[in-house]
Amino acid sequence: MRITVDIDAETLAAIQKETGLKKSPAIRKAAVDYVEDLRKKRFLRKVLEGRTDYGITNEELEDLGSYDAD
C-alpha cells in the first residue's frame, strides 16, 4: 500500500543513517522494526507479570546468557 507521510528532514536523515537505506525502504524498515519492538516489549511485560504460561523461570533465562535489552 502506498501512502504519503509528512516527516521532517532531520528525522528522515536519522532514519536513513540508522538503517543504511534510502527514503522509502528506510521508512518501511523503521515502521516494521518499531512494531516488532512493541510486540517484544508487550510479550516481555506479560512474562514478567506472570500473565503467560511461558515455561522458563527468570533464573533459567539468565543462565542462557546475556541479551541486548534495548
Tens digits of residue pLDDT in 38-55: 999 998 888 788 887 767
User: What's the mean per-residue pLDDT of the chain?
Assistant: 87
How many domains, the chain? 1
Alpha-carbon dihedral sign for residues 6, 11, 12, 15: negative
Closest among 19, 18, 67 to 44, alpha carbons compared: 67
Question: Can you give the residue range of the structural domain that contains 46?
Answer: 9-63
Any domain includes 34: yes
Any domain includes 69: no
Which grid cell sits at 58?
Answer: 527468570
Grade residue 56 by pLDDT with cuts at 50, 70 and 90: confident
How far, in Å, CA of 60 to CA of 56, rounded? 6
pLDDT (average), residues 22-39 = 96
